[in-house]
């Protein structure tokens, strides 16, 4: 049984800001509820008020334009992303990450914004957003601000959101011309499970070679390994560059042992998945 709470459903962001200011720590925001309600059922949190965001029209849906790129509203579901031709064609690394997050039923409720606000190190969409240089649109009683996704995650289940702030949307600039990307998820089973290790990679060759890698489940936050990027700016055989990148990734991550996998196993799989991602994406470029 979920402990009793009051359910609130504002219709505007102004109303939402007012409710958050009034109830503070006693209130929790609900998007799809697939993380929140599990924590409430297990009595790990007991909010007195649950504020449902789905009644707020301006938080819904996706939009894209040639100049500004993609904007994903706070209540846009993962299935909306998966069904979008724009996301599939232009933001393939994100599309592939969404496609391996849980299952179609869950993705019908769950949102991308809920996935990043939950701030699990295993969040599947986070590595893709990191390699795409996404930005988080935040609003609250003190106004609005933009947080680069690389500064958004501050620890296990912690973000740089301040009390009274909520995420309005995630913005993603258009990737470089000719970019290709993919998310490589290693789980305990082929079915629904959190990642033992996840690797997102984005490569492009528009004048200079661009190569970005970010990982899930191997650090206290989702992690972009910026040090890898310089390796591919230099000359040298591709095979050697890939092996150096694999070594750098293994140096920078700090996996733990938990129910889903051991530290050594994660270290090994992070290297193996990084190699696979780079060979597949660079091999064909
Ligand atoms: C069976 C099952 C399988 C799962 N499999 C996976 C998986 O494979 N990969 C994976 O990454 N995750 C997985 N999850 C976790 C979860 O489904 C995802 O993290 C999902 O994207 C959360 O989105 P939501 O809209 O349901 O978030 P919610 O549960 O509504 O919210 C999550 C958290 O974010 C806060 N929040 C929501 N919206 C905002 C906002 N706009 N501003 C500020 N805070 C906000 C909420 O208060 C809450 O703390 C799984 C969960 C279940 C139950």
pLDDT recorded at residue 285: 47
Tell me the β-bridge partners of 181: 202
Q: How far is ligand 1, taken at its centre, from the CA of residue 261, in Å?
A: 22
- Please indicate, yes or no, if residue 1 is contained in any of the structural domains: no
Same domain, 213 and 229: yes
Q: Using a 6 Å cutoff on CB, does residue 194 contact ligand 1?
A: yes
Q: Is 28 in the pocket of ligand 1 (CB under 6 A)?
A: yes
Among protein residues, the one with the nearest Cα to ligand 1's atom 23 is 114
Ligand 1 and 30: CB distance under 6 A:
yes
Residue 283: per-residue pLDDT: 80
> Does residue 78 sit in the same domain as residue 141?
yes
Domain shared by 189 and 83, yes or no: no
Residue having the nearest C-alpha atom to atom 21 of ligand 1: 115
Q: Are residues 148 and 255 in the same domain?
A: no
* Dist. CA 120–CA 69, nearest whole Å: 26
| Stretches in the chain below the pLDDT threshold 50 | 285
Cα separation, 275 vs 106, in Å, equals 31
User: Domain total for the chain?
Assistant: 3
Q: Given the CA of residue 124, which atom of ligand 1 is nearest to it?
A: 11
Q: Is the CB of 34 under 6 A from ligand 1?
A: yes
What is the reported pLDDT for 191? 66
pTM: 0.97
Q: Are residues 74 and 143 in the same domain?
A: yes
Domain extent for 184? 180-283
15 and 35 in one domain?
yes
Angle between helices 263-283 and 238-252 (to 10 degrees): 150
Query: How many angstroms does the Cα of residue 282 sit away from the middle of ligand 1?
Result: 32
Say what the pLDDT of residue 193 is.
Answer: 80
Protein residue whose Cα sits closest to atom 38 of ligand 1: 114
- pLDDT score at 1: 83
The CATH number of the domain where 279 resides is what?
3.30.390.50
What are the tens digits of pLDDT across the range 83-122? 999 999 999 999 999 999 999 999 999 999 999 999 999 9
């Amino acid at each position: 049984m979920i402990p009793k709470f009051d359910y609130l459903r504002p219709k505007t962001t102004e109303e939402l800001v007012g409710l958050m200011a009034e109830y503070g720590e006693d209130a929790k925001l609900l998007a799809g509820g697939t993380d929140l309600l599990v924590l409430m059922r297990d009595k790990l949190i007991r909010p007195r008020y649950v504020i449902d965001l789905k009644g707020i029209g301006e938080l819904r849906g996706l939009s894209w334009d040639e100049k500004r790129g993609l904007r994903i509203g706070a209540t846009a579901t993962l299935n909306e992303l998966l069904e979008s031709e724009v996301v599939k064609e232009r933001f393939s690394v994100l599309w592939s990450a969404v496609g391996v997050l849980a299952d179609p039923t869950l993705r019908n409720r769950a949102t991308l914004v809920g996935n990043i606000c939950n701030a699990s190190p295993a969040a599947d969409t986070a590595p893709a957003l990191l390699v795409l240089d996404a930005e988080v649109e935040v609003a609250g009683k003190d106004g609005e601000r933009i947080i680069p996704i690389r500064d958004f995650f501050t620890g296990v289940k912690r973000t740089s959101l301040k009390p009274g702030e909520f995420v309005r949307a995630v913005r993603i600039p258009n990737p470089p011309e000719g970019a290709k990307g993919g998310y490589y998820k290693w789980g305990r089973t082929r079915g629904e499970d959190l990642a033992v290790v996840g690797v997102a990679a984005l490569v492009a060759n528009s004048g200079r070679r661009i190569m970005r890698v970010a990982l899930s489940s191997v650090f206290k936050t989702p992690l972009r390994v910026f040090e890898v990027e310089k390796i591919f700016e230099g000359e040298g055989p591709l095979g050697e560059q890939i092996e150096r990148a694999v070594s750098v990734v293994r140096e920078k991550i700090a996996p733990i042992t938990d129910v889903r996998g051991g530290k050594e196993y994660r270290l090994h799989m992070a290297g193996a998945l990084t190699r696979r991602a780079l060979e597949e994406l660079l091999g064909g470029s």
